[in-house]
Structure 1
């Protein structure tokens, strides 16, 4: 049995440009695959003033979770200090959450929210 949806939208992406202390400001797309099949993700990033970065492939093994740091995706550079949005499409239903670690101040903050599932 697989739970979740095949398409998820994260309209508010933003990697803070500054960091303090030992932890770097970052965002992560958190994906849970409860199915018995691997999930092939196609991740696309959209910006206000530049062309999108589309169809970045990520694999999430069966019955596993994967935390995809948007500042550490091979071959993709998501700029810091620039708003962006994310679309995640999966070969099997998955659940998607986004987390932001903001260390611009000594008292760091962590924000997390569920992505928006798109019904088809």
Structure 2
């Protein structure tokens, strides 16, 4: 008999420092991504909101992360963000709201300084 696993994490995550970096030294392309881990045994249905400095938010970008899976969302790929892909150099924030607990982090390959880093978001429920 399988025990019901409610999963680790939180239902709300905020990443306040998002920016798709442009091409850097030696023509290395930059990228950024949101990585979401669902350790529970129910699919996570997530709504993403993008918050900008100079325009209205983009709301209700739907994402599903299957039970006991991880999903990497590249912010500049239409298969992940639809028509709301990130523009190079644009400052914005990312809000994730899930119906079940998940763990999320943000990663950026920063070619201007040839660095890669990840950071957990701020989570609150």
Q: What TM-score do the two structures reach when normalised by structure 1? A: 0.90
Unaligned runs of 5+ in 2: none
| Alpha-carbon offset, residue 23 of structure 1 | 4.7
* Higher radius of gyration, 1 or 2: 2
2:36 aligned counterpart, secondary structure: strand
User: How do 1:98-113 residues align onto structure 2 when only pairs under 5 Å count?
Assistant: 98-105=106-113, 108-113=114-119
Instruction: Name the CA distance, whole Å, in 2 between partners of 1:68 and 1:60.
Output: 10
Instruction: Judge conservation of contact 2:22–2:89 (CA < 8 Å) in 1.
Output: yes
Q: Following TM superposition, where does structure 1 have runs of at least 4 consecutive aligned residues deviating by more than 4 angstroms?
A: 20-23
What are the superposed Cα offsets for residues 41-65 of structure 1, whole Å, 9 maximum, x if unpaired?
1011101001111110011011000
Count, aligned residues: 117
Q: What TM-score do the two structures reach when normalised by structure 2? A: 0.87
